[in-house]
Structure 1
């Protein structure tokens, strides 16, 4: 079987690796087919093969295991199975039954398993017993009930992994989890990270029946050590639940309430007073209101990472709360229609941006070009992430003047999509912008240019400028463009340099600065 996949080492290594035989007479030589068979991938040590296999997906390890007996032993080594996803919807493995999973836990995963994702049809009492008894190193678990139609019987559940650092529970719209949760409350005291993922993306505003499918008041009573709490898109969540969390979980450092429309902000006063360690507050598309937000004593808080993207706060409210905060390292104000030049100037005067390294002011139509330029000129050298999309007036000249100030930028989003709808008259010479990034931003990792193919223009020499950004920004991992002729040119340029996955389209990918959050790794889910 090994002859069929005769992967050879480079020819220079072949010559050095062949063992010297007895001294031959002049003119004698070893047949070439013997040299080819003498050095194959089979000669690599097991430790090196194991390291090579660690770069493969779990589904590919199953294919590798069919090659030969040696590779089967290596592919099924428990050290390669420390992270396992069993959710096919998220590129995970598909396990047919809980009984098969029980066998895998004992045979394949064992004591090295640290991370596992389980769908609802595999969440049974025997499976959880096996994980509790045979996986002492398990620290991260995802339980996905989002597609559940009916729960298994958990009356016999008397064991659950008790050393978890992070637990993610994907909620269902109609399945009540209290019967299951009642059995595991006593095992949650070690949790530092909690994700409760709601059904915001699946539900519609017209639905009147909203059920509280999980009891947050009981969770907070058994999780006193929580540091990161992510409550995403939970339709029944309101300020009473936030007050309950604040009453017992005083060590919270990061609270994310993205897409929780029933959270108005009335609980934030108690939250700030009780949770003195709170550094990060994420309220993307939350239902916060002016009166509640202005009544919070923000000046006593330690918050320096704030996201108010897509909220409907007035200019007076934004001025009130932003000027009372101690300062920002991360600030998200995308789609805030009332964030204007006056507020920005006051923030700069009071030195609130002295430590700022990530800023999102996309689609803020009340901000003028001059105010944004003054901001970049003053604080651009500290910025590592900047999102300035959806600003039709920021054209080629603005960016050619602004980019030289962004010496340390790592993530940048610029341009305006749907230029045909906005009836943009000017066209953007993208070559000069690409050259400016290449000359001034050597640390650039992610760049997204949203202008449409009808808006940008380029020349016959565009490939030269693309070469410059590819060579002078070696850390570039993602280059996102609108699908069109220019995208095809950039993609083919990077593919010729064996960088196949760098260039992407705005249709399938979007760039964000959330990776610059302090607790970004703990906030990831799905």
Structure 2
């Protein structure tokens, strides 16, 4: 006699479904009416049972469920996501503009270090936009470094009192430099000539105390935008190229030619060719070579002079006062050690209503200074012992500047 087994005691129907998770299903079994009563027998084939049973839906996987902690699909995607996140922050994926913005905030030392990372960073680190202004004060010797800095497209260069060797420019015909201070450098005239022969855009230049040549002065004449020129204490060039340079540099406003190795012909070349645009002139230190006639010629050619230094010219007398009175814009005048001018005649400067400072070191004693100051209350007397005309940095300033312009990349030992 056969024993009837209810359907609920049969094995789980989903054991043979590959890839499914056995979950209790709350579905009602619908039997086909054509099967009759054979479903209640124990001899019912398992294949028919699986065919007549309702299909079980594949359960959805959830990334937050505990059942997916060992899911291969989820584990396989996690490292790929981490890789994509890392790639988005890679330095190589940053555009050049962004890297240049980052490098523009680096110091000179750090910028040179970044140039050694790779070829791309080397190219970006030498981009001309990063080398607008460089201060190499404190560097005792400049050789190939100077050529690299100038070739990088520097606009402002400050390296006074430096020993300059033989820079290499890698076939660069023209440099972009506009403001350059080479005061007191130890450099051969041929090397300086090579540098200046590549300059066409100079606006401010200081060659104080250097030995120059006629070719160097000829090269300076190729810079029509020159505004300030400091040749204080220089030597080694003739009057002819000096006169040619003054004729071509028509925008010159400040010029310092004091204490140069000049003869009478040099002073005459300046007096007869100085451009009318000059407003500040230092032509001191010529004792017997600067005469009254040269001063008259300078005043006629430069009627807008505001700052004039005629110190150490022993041929000047009080007869120069009416000539200087023609300069209606004159504010600063220096007559230090002009021994032909009597101290008592200095009270005549009350006729100069626009004059602000008067330097007369060596002409009057300290005891007479209060009396003169009382006679000229609107003028400051003997307050600046050193002239600042066309000099890149004033001795009165504590910060290192280049004609009032700051340099971003600074060499630090």
For the pair shown, the structure with the greater C-alpha radius of gyration is 2
Superposed CA offset, 1:454-487 (max 9, x none)? xxxxxxxxxxxxxxxxxxxxxxxxx57xxxxxxx
Equivalent residue runs for 1:23-422 within 5 Å: 136-137=104-105, 156=116, 158=122, 159=125, 162-170=129-137, 175=141, 177-178=143-144, 180=145, 188-189=152-153, 191-199=154-162, 213-216=164-167, 218=169, 221=172, 224-238=175-189, 240-260=190-210, 262-272=211-221, 274-291=222-239, 293=241, 296-302=244-250, 303-327=252-276, 328-337=278-287, 338-348=289-299, 351-371=300-320, 373-379=321-327, 381-409=328-356, 411-416=357-362
CA 1:184–1:391: 2 relative to 1, 3 Å: closer
Aligned residue for 1:469?
none
CA 1:213–1:299: 2 relative to 1, 3 Å: closer
- C-alpha separation in 1, matches of 2:345 and 2:331: 19
Aligned residue for 1:470?
none
How far apart are residue 172 of structure 1 and its match?
A: 5.2
Aligned residue for 2:389?
514
Q: TM-score by structure 2 length? A: 0.59
Aligned residue for 1:430?
369
Unpaired segments of 5 or more residues in structure 1?
1-130, 144-151, 200-211, 420-425, 442-446, 450-478, 481-509
How far apart are residue 406 of structure 1 and its match?
A: 4.6
Superposed CA offset, 1:253-275 (max 9, x none)? 12210011x21343212321x21
CA 1:403–1:312: 2 relative to 1, 3 Å: farther
- C-alpha separation in 1, matches of 2:302 and 2:313: 18
Contact 1:376/1:402 (8 A) holds in 2: no
- C-alpha separation in 1, matches of 2:406 and 2:301: 25
Aligned residue pairs: how many? 292
SS at match of 1:218: coil
How far apart are residue 236 of structure 1 and its match?
A: 1.7
Aligned residue for 1:33?
none
CA 1:133–1:300: 2 relative to 1, 3 Å: closer
How far apart are residue 286 of structure 1 and its match?
A: 0.6
Superposed CA offset, 1:204-227 (max 9, x none)? xxxxxxxx6444452993973221
Higher share of residues assigned helix: 1
How far apart are residue 298 of structure 1 and its match?
A: 2.9
Superposed CA offset, 1:372-408 (max 9, x none)? x1233221x4123222212234344222111440524
- C-alpha separation in 2, matches of 1:185 and 1:513: 27
How far apart are residue 252 of structure 1 and its match?
A: 0.8
CA 1:377–1:133: 2 relative to 1, 3 Å: closer
CA 1:292–1:413: 2 relative to 1, 3 Å: same
Unpaired segments of 5 or more residues in structure 2?
1-98, 394-401
- C-alpha separation in 2, matches of 1:169 and 1:356: 34
- C-alpha separation in 2, matches of 1:333 and 1:277: 22
Contact 2:213/2:237 (8 A) holds in 1: yes
Contact 1:177/1:214 (8 A) holds in 2: yes
Superposed CA offset, 1:142-184 (max 9, x none)? 99xxxxxxxx9999474468524321223655x4542x55776
- C-alpha separation in 1, matches of 2:322 and 2:148: 57
Aligned residue for 1:56?
none
- C-alpha separation in 2, matches of 1:408 and 1:220: 51
CA 1:141–1:402: 2 relative to 1, 3 Å: farther
Contact 2:240/2:269 (8 A) holds in 1: no
- C-alpha separation in 1, matches of 2:280 and 2:368: 31
